[in-house]
Amino acid sequence: MTAMPENPPILVPHVSGVTKAEGLSTGPVSVEPYRSSEYYERECRQVFGRAWLNMGRIEQLPKANSFFVKPVEACKATVLVTRDAAGTVRAFHNVCTHRGNAVAKEACGQRNRFTCRYHGWTFRNDGDLIGVPDEAQFFDFDRKDYGLKSIACDVWDGWIFINFQKVPEVSLAEFLCDLGRVFTGIPYLNTHQALVMEARLDANWKLIADAFAETYHLKTTHPQTLAPSFTSDKNRLGRPVGGRTWGIHRSVSTYGNMDYVTPATSKVEQLANLHSGTNVLAGDTSEEVMRLRNHPAINPAGSEHWSADLTWLFPNFHIDYSSGGFWTHEFWPTAYNKTRWVARIYMPTATSWRDRLAQEHYAARWGEVLLEDIGNCESIQTGIESGAIDEFVLQDAEFMIRHSLHTLDNWMNAETVRDAISANAQSVSS
Ligand code: FES
Ligand SMILES: [Fe+2]
């Protein structure tokens, strides 16, 4: 009797050897970055305190004088992002300069001034202090000295970023490196509406980010949901069809089973398909979708089996592209073993009740998949905190995790941000 080969042949072009090609090490990696509170404290300062951090998209400020508020727990900050009547986007600490109360209490809205509810100081949305009750009773007081404390802010291709350094050592363009240049001009569809899923998890932020950064888990974590459409007899474990690093950032192209047909028994998926086409990630061949598919940043390997690009912007932000649209993940640490995770799945406005109902099923389907992904993370945190293992063993399809840890290490140790970025460029060839 002939034994079955342990690894069945893969009959489609796929990538193998990315780890080595990108100059990364191949040995096991330490789990200390995931379980050490000292590492976390340093990470807050060296990484979150110095990197450009994504706040959201420009469409979250849809009108003149729109604003939104966003916590960044790792920096003990709450950020107020405003857009003035002329369209300029700014960011401030949401902290009254009188005695520290929050000036904006709502998560978002539209207003050109913010009045603190404690003693009534009023700030314009460009940060200037414009009203102080009983001002004459203060001493040597000049309003100009007490505007809202600004935070460096810049916008790239519709994405709003902030930086907590008083004067950022590098510009956003320099931070984004080649990725910023190549990914510019991507046609982002349905940017005005997103299905938002948010959860607080008892796991280090990198464990959640890692969960969405590799395809090795497809068959076993998503046996009934994603595996049938992202694996096939020709590629049993869904090995990726492309992958590379972009300086401190990285992306992987996933395989799609082009022969997949929704089974008659999958009722929710069938109803969701009324909205999305043939499966949860599929799209159509409209002009916009074709423009996306033809963008040089998308499916860089040009695979005919391409289904999605998972793109991880250092440190804590993913933008994922597929023909069916795009979605994002944010991973905000709140402690070394706690994370606030936010996923946004951008969707078109429903044009009929039928469409709306289909979207509800589409959302349910997404919920199921995402729960499968995050379902492992708390158990991993418990596992590594037990001390039973001190290392993770990573295979080639997990190269984004290895690159993330490698990049973090550079930032943890580098004196300056420019040093951190160039350490990456020197040690990892592109
Ligand atoms: S704390 Fe804001 S007006 Fe006093
Ligand atoms: Fe997954």
Q: Ligand 1 — pocket residues by CB below 6 A? A: 96, 98-101, 116, 118-121
Instruction: For residues 291 and 192, state if they share a domain.
Output: yes
Final residue in a domain of this structure, among 113, 143, 167: 167
Residue-level pLDDT at 329: 98
pLDDT, average across residues 21-40: 97
Residue 13 lies in a domain: no
What is the token pair recorded at 285?
């061949």
Residue whose structure tokens are 């959860």: 199
Ligand 1 atom nearest 101 alpha carbon: 1
Name the residue of 119, 130, 135 whose CB sits within 8 Å of the most ligand 1 atoms, as the mutation to test its pocket. 119
pLDDT confidence of 278, banded at 50, 70, 90?
Answer: very low
Residue-level pLDDT at 226: 87
Residue-level pLDDT at 284: 56
**Mean pLDDT score across all residues of the chain:** 91
- Which pairs count as long-range contacts for 328-331, CB under 8 Å and 24+ apart, including other chains? 329/208, 329/209, 329/212, 330/54, 331/205, 331/206, 331/208, 331/209
Atom 1, ligand 1: residue with shortest CA distance: 99
Report whether pLDDT(174) > 70.
yes
What is the SS3 assignment for 136?
Answer: helix
Of residues 109 and 428, more confidently modeled: 109
Instruction: For residues 299 and 185, state if they share a domain.
Output: yes
Atom 4, ligand 1: residue with shortest CA distance: 119
Instruction: For residues 191 and 227, state if they share a domain.
Output: yes
Instruction: For residues 80 and 126, state if they share a domain.
Output: yes
Report whether pLDDT(426) > 70.
no
Report whether pLDDT(203) > 60.
yes
Instruction: For residues 92 and 227, state if they share a domain.
Output: no
Residue 1 lies in a domain: no
Residue-level pLDDT at 266: 73
Residue-level pLDDT at 429: 43
Instruction: For residues 130 and 214, state if they share a domain.
Output: no
pLDDT above 70 coverage of the chain, percent: 92
pLDDT, average across residues 331-344: 98
Residue 65 lies in a domain: yes
Whether 414 contacts 423, CB under 8 Å: yes
Name the residue of 92, 95, 99 whose CB sits within 8 Å of the most ligand 1 atoms, as the mutation to test its pocket. 99
Final residue in a domain of this structure, among 120, 141, 167: 167
Residue-level pLDDT at 401: 98
Report whether pLDDT(1) > 60.
no
Residue-level pLDDT at 258: 79
pLDDT digits (tens, 9 = 90+) for 134-156: 999 999 999 999 999 999 999 99
Q: Which of 37-51, 168-182, 340-354 has the lowest mean pLDDT?
A: 340-354
Report whether pLDDT(310) > 80.
yes
Instruction: For residues 147 and 194, state if they share a domain.
Output: no
Report whether pLDDT(2) > 60.
no
Number of domains present in the structure of the chain? 2
Report whether pLDDT(348) > 90.
no
Instruction: For residues 122 and 214, state if they share a domain.
Output: no
Report whether pLDDT(427) > 70.
no
d(CA 94, CA 100): 9
The gap between the terminal CA atoms of the chain, to the nearest Å, is 46
Residue 3 lies in a domain: no
Report the separation in Å between the CA atom of 137 and the middle of ligand 1, taken as the mean of its atom positions: 15
Residue 10 lies in a domain: no
Residue-level pLDDT at 29: 98
Domain range for 258:
18-48+177-427
pLDDT above 90 coverage of the chain, percent: 74
Q: Which residue, among 12, 9, 150, has the nearest Cα to 81 in the 3D structure?
A: 150
Q: What CATH number is given to the structural domain containing 66?
A: 2.102.10.10
pLDDT digits (tens, 9 = 90+) for 59-102: 999 999 999 999 999 999 999 999 999 999 999 999 999 999 99
d(CA 285, CA 14): 24
Instruction: For residues 188 and 113, state if they share a domain.
Output: no
